[in-house]
Structure 1
Amino acid sequence: MEPSERVELPANFEDAGLDHLVLLISDMLGRLIAHNDQIPLSPESLTRFHSRSAPNITILEYLRRIVKFTNVERSCLLLTLHYIDQICSRMPLFTLSSLTAHRFILASVAVSSKAFCDAFCTNNHYAKVGGISVAELNVLEREFLRIINWRLMCTRDVLQEYYVNLVRTHSSGGFIIIGTQSASSISSDSDIDSAPSRPMSPVEVTTPSTILIDTATLSPELPKGPTIEQNMAFAALQQEREGAAGDLRDRMDDDPP
């Protein structure tokens, strides 16, 4: 893509268009998922976020659906990346993959909206938009909060750093922040790059499950052997993979109330 064809984005993530932000996030998550899908699944790595088969809807379409029907705020979309890093660092066996991404994103949006927004939807509405039952979303929400140890807070500077690095590492190089030379060379003394420099993409970091994180601030859980529930779920998953493809999209209504 020629530089003249690049899309110019505002300096601050709060001013970015929602669809541009969704494009940036889905590009990053798509590359992360493609990498993590190559990691063999084991019983001890199963979580409540795992589907038995990959949902028949892309991350881009899923995010656009959430934005359309829940009016999610920009900060909550970027918080999803922060929560991925936090949980992957606390649970080294967890990976964001085609089996976990959709449920994780939905739970993250529901939790972050309740924590940071003045107005948010009910779980019944989030579940309908996400294509799962409200009972399942309730379980995912509790599990999400347990794993992250209720540490939902995040500074604006950290979210801004995620935004800058999404632009820097976009696979096509098709975006540029106004006032910079290129999408991969944002000035270190600009107003938007005040946070410390850290790893910037799943290709560049040591642990491929994460995006951008200072792991020194975290205490990861000790690895544990698989539980009986995980062994049973793993066996069921192996059988399910021999059957039909995912049906998440089929359970979605076109226009949730």
Structure 2
Amino acid sequence: MSAVGMKSTHSEVAKLDFRKGRGIPDMETLSPDTADMYLSLGLREQGKKILGYPRVLMLLSSALDRSVQKNERLLETSQSKDVITIFHGVRPPALTIRQYIERIFKYSACSPSCFVIAQIYMDRFVQNTDVLLTSLNVHRLLITSLTVAAKFVDDAFFNNAYYAKVGGVSTSELNRLEMKFLFSIDFRLHVSIDTFQRYCLLLEKEVSEGLQIERSIQSCRITESWSNKEDSTWYSHSC
């Protein structure tokens, strides 16, 4: 079953929790504190459209960076071995997690809330598979979870061929990653309002834990290949 087909299957459930087309919970039903949190994360716009990247991207990249660093220290100091999956590459990509997330946002037109949903999906994947997030698999898990989130949450989305170019993998590889990912999370795509808000609060905690803001990306030109498949290469694009 394709992800597009699954969206139509689960859409009635999704609309109970998320505003149609943007994946944003209905602001009129939220407390003032929660509404302010969504505005702070960049999940909702106030007044004119703000140029640049929503704050949620920076916080998500920080949270994933922390998780990757913690897991890689654990693997280095313990006798346990990493579980190798189709999401693993031969070497870490040249792009940082933040650069990769901002690239996906810039070219995919995903709503900001998709990135929160993608984090929830990634956590479900980790819980079901016992796979540790590392620098070798986090990028593929990101593009896969965001592809699934966009199809499920947003009314308008691209096909896998486009997302594959944005993410630096081939279409055939993204198709395989998507199906593996969906089966690994048991096709559990529904996200409740409570779960969504809890993850937003966890992202907000990144600020109080000494988040260091990186410099903005200076160039969007990508040339590095990070695939463990010969047919998967970075999609070169000039800003």
Deviation per CA, 1:12-41: give whole Å up to 9, x if none: 253277431100100111110111122439
Change (3 A) 1:34 1:173: closer
Whichever structure has more helix as a proportion of its residues is 2
1:31 paired residue number: 66
Task: Confirm whether residue 172 of structure 1 aligns to residue 186 of structure 2.
Answer: no
Ranked by relative contact order (alpha carbons within 8 Å, sequence separation 6 or more), the top structure is 1
Count of paired positions: 177
Deviations 1:190-240 (A, max 9, x none): xxxxxxxxxxxxxxxxxxxxxxxxxxxxxxxxxxxxxxxxxxxxxxxxxxx
| Rg larger for | 1
Matches within 5 A, 1:43-122: 45-92=83-130, 94-122=131-159
TM-score by length of 2: 0.67
Q: Matched residues in 2 for 1:126 and 1:105: separation?
A: 11
Shift of 1:255: 4.9
What are the equivalent positions in structure 2 for 1:1-257 lying under 5 Å apart? Answer: 10-12=36-38, 13=41, 14-15=43-44, 18-40=53-75, 45-92=83-130, 94-170=131-207, 171-172=209-210, 247-248=225-226, 251-255=234-238
Give 1:251 shift. Answer: 2.1
Which ranges of structure 2 fall in alignment gaps of 5 or more residues? Answer: 1-34, 214-223, 228-232
What TM-score, normalized by structure 1, do the two folds share? 0.63
Please report how far the alpha carbon of residue 62 of structure 1 lies from its aligned counterpart in structure 2 after TM superposition.
Answer: 0.3
Q: What 5-or-longer segments of structure 1 have no aligned partner?
A: 1-8, 176-245
Q: After the TM superposition, which segments of 4 or more aligned residues of structure 1 sit over 4 Å from their partners?
A: 41-44
Deviations 1:66-90 (A, max 9, x none): 0000111122100122112211111
Q: For 1:60 and 1:174, how far apart are their aligned partners in 2?
A: 12
* C-alpha deviation, 1:11, in angstroms: 2.2
